[in-house]
Structure 1
Amino acid sequence: MTTLLPERETTEVLDRTVVARPSLRDTVDHSLAMAWRALKKMRRNPEQWFDVTLQPLLFTAMFAYIFGGAISGSVEDYLPIVITGILAQTALTACMATGIQLREDMDKGVFDRFKSLPIARIAPLVGPAVADLIRYATAATLTILTGVLMGYRPGGGVPGVLAGWVLTVVAGWSLAWIFTYFGTRARSAQAVQGISMMVMFPLTFLSNAFVPAETLPGWLEAFVNVNPVSLVISALRDLMNEGAVTANVGWALLGCGIVVAIFLPLSVRSYNRKM
C-alpha cells in the first residue's frame, strides 16, 4: 500500500535532492582536473604522440623533396609553401584523435563514472581539449624546426613565426570540436576514425596546402578559396613568410570562431543526450 507524504514533507524531500549547479569557477576547476587526467593518460600511452612527433618530420621531408622541384623548381623555394601547409595538416591530424579518444572512453564506461560525480557536465569534453593544446604545440614546433633544418628561412622572423605558431594551436583547438562532435555521435572509435578521415583528407588536400590555388581548375579553386583550412594556411604564410598581419589572419580567426560556435554547443548537446 502506497503512503502519500504531506505536501510540505514532499517539498522538503525534493529540496534535499536538488543538486546545485556548478559555478563558473567550479566548471573551470573541473575542466582543469579533466585536462590533468588526459595528460596523465598521454604520458602512460606514448603512442598517442606519434601523430605529433613522427608524422610532421616524415611529411615535411617527404613532400618537400618529392614535390619541391616539380612545383617550385627547388626544395628551398618550396619550403615557404609546404611548411605552412604541413602545419595545418598536422594540427588537423592531431585534433582528429580527440574524437577517437572521447569515443573510446565512452565505450569503456568511463563517462558513466563521470556522470555519477558532482562535476560540471561540460568538463569531460573541455578537459581533453585543453590537454590537447600541448599536442598541437608539439606538432607545430617540430614542423617549424624541421623546416629550418632543411633550409627554411621565414621572412617574418621570430615574431612572425611565433604568431604562426599561436595561430596553428588555435586552429587545431577550434577544429577539434568538429571531431569531438563525431565522437559523441558515432557508435564506435573505428567509426569516428573513418568519418574523421573522410573529412580530414578533403579539407587538407583540397586546399592551398601543397599547390597554389590559382593552378587548379576554376570549380576546384572556388572550393579551395572557401575551405577553412586554406584560410588558416594563407594567414600562416602572411605571418611567417611576410611578417604581415593581413585580412587573411582576420578571416582565419573568424573561421575558427565560427567552427567553435557551431560545434561546441552541438558536442555538448549530443554528449548530454548520450549520457
Structure 2
Amino acid sequence: MSSDTATSTGPAPSVYVPSSEALATVLAPAARPPRPSPLSASLTFSWRAMLKIKHVPEQLFDVTMFPIIMVLMFTYLFGGALAGDPRDYLQFFLPGIMVTSVVMITMYTAVGLNSDIEKGIFDRFRTLPVWRPAALVGMIFGDVLRYILAATVILTLGLVLGFRPEGGLLGVLGGIGLLVVFSFAFSWVWTLFGLILRNEKSVMGASMMVLFPLTFLSNVFVDPSTMPGWLQAFVKANPITHLVSSVRASMAGTSDTSAMMWTFGWSVLFVVVFGILTMYRYNRR
C-alpha cells in the first residue's frame, strides 16, 4: 500500500530560547528613566486636576457664579440696613465675602478625592513608582487655580460696584496671597474627610456642617462688637476671623500683625496635623 506522505526520520528542529541578557536588550534597549522627584510628580498630578477643568468647564460655576451671587445678594440686601449705603458696606464686606467664597470652595477637594477613590483611580495611583503623597498634594495644587480665579472674579465685580482698596495693587495681591496660603492649608482638612467618609453626599454634608458656623459666626458680615459676649469669644478664636482681619487690613493699606500671625499659625497647624492624619489614613486604606 503506497502513501503520498513522506515520513521524516531526522532529528527534531531545535527551539531557540533567548537568554535573559538578550530579552533585556530587546525589551529595555535604553536605560530606565530616573524616578520623578516629589515636586515633578506633584506638578504632574496638579496638571491632571487642571485638565479636568478644561474638559468639564461646568465645574467652574462654583468659582464664578457662586461668588457673584454672594456679592450682589449681600451687598444690596443687607448693605443699606447695616451700613446705611450699599457702597459703604461693600468697602467692609468685600474682603470678607472673598474669604467666605474661597474657603467654601476648598471642600470640593474632598469631593473630588472621594470620587476618584470610589472609581478606583487612586488604587492605580498607589501602584505607580512616584512619591506617595504626590497624588494628594497635586490635587490641592490644582485647586489653587480655582481659589485664585474665585478671588479675581470677586475683586473684579467689587471694583465695578465701587470697591476701592486703599492698599493699592500690592495690598490686594498680599490679601489674595494670604487667602490662597490659608486655603491650601485648610484643604488638608477636607482630604481627610474625603478618605474617611463613604460617598460624595456624606462629604458635602459634613463639610457644610463645619463651614457654615466658621464663615457665618465670624467678622465677615458685621463687626463682632455688636454680638453677645459669649458669641464674641467664639468669633475671636475663629480662624476665619483672623484670616478676614488680615486680608481686610492688607487691602486697606494697613497691617494687623496679630491677625496675620494667627493666620500663618492656623495654616501651619492644618498642614501638620491634618496632613499627617491624611497620609496615615491614605497609607492604610
Q: Tell me the equivalent position of 1:47.
A: 58
Q: Distance in 2 between matches of 1:66 and 1:112?
A: 48
Q: Tell me the equivalent position of 2:9.
A: none
Aligned with 2:255: secondary structure?
Answer: coil
The one-letter code matched in structure 1 to 2:56 is: N
Alpha-carbon deviations, 1:70-89, whole Å to 9, x = none? 11111111112211111111
Question: How many pairs were matched up?
Answer: 252
Q: Tell me the equivalent position of 2:112.
A: 101
Q: Distance in 1 between matches of 2:40 and 2:190?
A: 24
1:249 to 260, 275, 280: 260
Q: Tell me the equivalent position of 2:153.
A: 142
Q: Tell me the equivalent position of 1:237.
A: 248
Structure 1 spans left out of the alignment, 5+ residues = 1-21
Shift in Å at residue 247 of structure 1?
A: 2.4
Q: What TM-score, normalized by structure 1, do the two folds share?
A: 0.88
1:155–1:241: 8 Å Cα contact kept in structure 2? yes
1:59 to 70, 87, 99: 70
Residue identity (%): 42
The one-letter code matched in structure 2 to 1:208 is: N
Q: Distance in 1 between matches of 2:167 and 2:158?
A: 14
The one-letter code matched in structure 2 to 1:191 is: S
Q: Distance in 1 between matches of 2:77 and 2:201?
A: 31
1:126 to 114, 129, 137: 137
Q: Distance in 2 between matches of 1:164 and 1:261?
A: 23
Aligned with 2:106: secondary structure?
Answer: helix
Structure 2 spans left out of the alignment, 5+ residues = 1-33
Q: Tell me the equivalent position of 1:30.
A: 41
1:98–1:176: 8 Å Cα contact kept in structure 2? yes
Q: Tell me the equivalent position of 2:219.
A: 208
1:91–1:171: 8 Å Cα contact kept in structure 2? no
1:194 to 200, 205, 208: 205
Q: What TM-score, normalized by structure 2, do the two folds share?
A: 0.85
Aligned with 2:220: secondary structure?
Answer: coil
1:170 aligns with 2:181: yes
Q: Distance in 2 between matches of 1:253 and 1:220?
A: 24
Shift in Å at residue 243 of structure 1?
A: 3.4
Alignment of 1:256-275 (within 5 A): 256-274=267-285
Q: Tell me the equivalent position of 1:179.
A: 190
2:175–2:247: 8 Å Cα contact kept in structure 1? yes
Q: Distance in 2 between matches of 1:32 and 1:155?
A: 36
Alignment of 1:80-99 (within 5 A): 80-99=91-110
The one-letter code matched in structure 1 to 2:117 is: M
Shift in Å at residue 245 of structure 1?
A: 5.2
Q: Distance in 1 between matches of 2:208 and 2:141?
A: 22
**The 10-residue stretch of structure 1 (63-72 or 234-243) with the greater mean CA deviation from structure 2:** 234-243
**The 10-residue stretch of structure 1 (222-231 or 167-176) with the greater mean CA deviation from structure 2:** 167-176
**The 10-residue stretch of structure 1 (241-250 or 57-66) with the greater mean CA deviation from structure 2:** 241-250
Structure of larger gyration radius: 2
Q: Distance in 2 between matches of 1:50 and 1:94?
A: 11
**Alignment RMSD (CA, Å):** 1.4
Alpha-carbon deviations, 1:214-235, whole Å to 9, x = none? 1111111110001001100000
Aligned with 1:153: secondary structure?
Answer: coil
The one-letter code matched in structure 2 to 1:253 is: F
1:160–1:244: 8 Å Cα contact kept in structure 2? no
Q: Tell me the equivalent position of 1:159.
A: 170
